[in-house]
A and B are shown apart, each in its own frame.
Chain A
Amino acid sequence: MLAKRIIPCLDVRDGKVVKGINFVGIKEVGDPVECAAMYDEQGADEIVFLDITATHEGRGTMLEVVRNTAKKVFVPLTVGGGIKTIEDFRDTLRAGADKVSVNSSAVRNPELISQAADIFGNQCVVVAIDAKRRSDGGFTVVVNGGRIDTGIDAVKWAQKAESLGAGEILLTSMDTDGTKKGFDIELLNAICSVVKIPVIASGGCGTLEHFSEVFEKTKASAALAASLFHYKELTVPQVKAHLREKNIPVRI
């Protein structure tokens, strides 16, 4: 049986790990290579780098970060943020990423998913979906950090992403993200029940119980957290020890 994965996510801008505080004043807080190596050492099952660089020069810096990380980190590395073309996929994978995550560019151009899957294999195409509740109880896909509602149904989009060749879905709830009140169980169940590919739960965890809850109540394959690990409110070993106590299979 596969172990449930615990994935720390690092926001990287211009080659530094950054963490936004209430959307104002992004503060630089560390070296991504060192942070990733530390998470690997702690037993993280995978590391995600989210590139929030806006400039072209920053992109090159990001690839350099990926190259240096791949020399020190020996668990799968996923890189997302700003990936728009097959060339971006190729550059990122060549730099040493194992998977590439696409979000708004896949919404704008779904063919990108199938092209990338054909060339590089399904296993390295992660489709990130940011979803938000509609008034009718369904979920809509939002992009640009939740600022733009695409009007696309999140459940249908997940199915489409799978049929186009996505190997995995990274599902973030914009309703629970940042609240620390727990993962969005309802959204996860809505998506997990219609796709066979692994779904990574993201957004809302604040306590150890939130991790066991997401694996007990949904079919999520992995749970992702950023600031929780980053500010050392919880550590990867703590989360895994808790999951093992709850008889959830984890790699320790």
Chain B
Amino acid sequence: MIAIIDYGAGNIFSVKNALDFIGLKNILTDKKSEIENADGIILPGVGAFPSAMNMLKEKGLIEIIRKQAYQKPFLGICLGMQLIFEKGFEFEETEGLSLIEGTVEKMEPKDLSIPHIGWNKLEILNPCPLTNGLSESEYVYFVHSYKAVCRDEYISAYCEYGEKVPALVFKDNIFGAQFHPEKSGKAGLKILKNFGEML
């Protein structure tokens, strides 16, 4: 059972639809007991860093996520990926979940529009369990304006958008996808299946 954390941010149903489609049991939840009992956790998210952290705080979920994330496969998607770092700088400096060392900063590519929206190519730097079986030129779907800044050892894959943008990050059993695997066609479903394999 995968707990998809429902804290009021973004289109969580598309994550649920994708997991249902590939046959991974899941539950949308904001309950501590369900998060504790789950075999894996997905933290989705669309919106702004400070308001997402606030919503997690209001629901009293920060500590439980910090604790549980080390004990079972954990995947943050899009804003959910950004939240796993130490600090975000969207609008104001905000403390993140601090599961991986790094920060989240505004993208400033020359001559390219922001948000970075569309299909971009994954360049694999350090293979991880989620990249199993992916071909060398997989495109995945991005929608974001901020990017992770972290050490290369945590970057499984990046994409080129005027600069190198971390696309898939990991540390032990903690994973983060800047793109939307649930909207990235077959490659995205493969990544979610790989996540399911780890449970």
Which chain B residues lie closer than 8 Å to A1 at the CB level?
Answer: 120-121, 160-161
Q: Which of A1-40 contact B (CB under 8 A)?
A: 1-3, 5, 40
Q: How far is the CA of A146 from the CA of B117 in the complex (A)?
A: 30
The A contact surface, by secondary structure, is loop
A72: chain B residues at CB < 8 Å are 21
Asked if B17 and A71 sit within 8 Å, CB to CB, the answer is yes
Residues of B in contact, count (CB < 8 Å): 29
Query: Would you list which residues of chain A between 40 and 72 have a CB under 8 Å from chain B?
Result: 40, 43, 45, 70-72
Number of chain A interface residues as a range: 20 to 34
Q: How many A-B residue pairs have CB under 8 A?
A: 70
CA of A74 to CA of B183 in the docked complex: distance in angstroms? 5
Residue of A nearest to B192 (CB): A74
Determine if B89 is an interface residue (Cβ-Cβ < 8 Å).
no
Residue from A74, A96, A121 in contact with B13 in the complex, judged by beta carbons closer than 8 Å: A96
Among A3, A98, A122, which residue has its beta carbon within 8 angstroms of that of B118?
A3
Q: Is B134 part of the binding interface, using a Cβ–Cβ cutoff of 8 Å?
A: no
B21 touches A71 (CB 8 A): yes
- A2 contact set on B, CB distance < 8 A: 116, 118-120, 161
Do residues B117 and A3 form an inter-chain contact, with CB atoms below 8 A? no
Q: A2-B116, A43-B185, A70-B13 are in contact. List 9 more A-B contacts (CB 8 A).
A: A1-B120, A1-B121, A3-B120, A40-B185, A71-B21, A74-B17, A75-B183, A123-B115, A251-B185
Residues of chain A whose beta carbon lies under 8 Å from any beta carbon of chain B: 1-3, 5, 40, 43, 45, 70-72, 74-76, 93-94, 96, 98, 121-123, 167-168, 196-198, 221, 249, 251
Could you show 9 A-B contacts with beta carbons less than 8 Å apart?
Answer: A3-B118, A5-B118, A70-B17, A71-B17, A75-B141, A93-B11, A98-B11, A196-B113, A197-B113
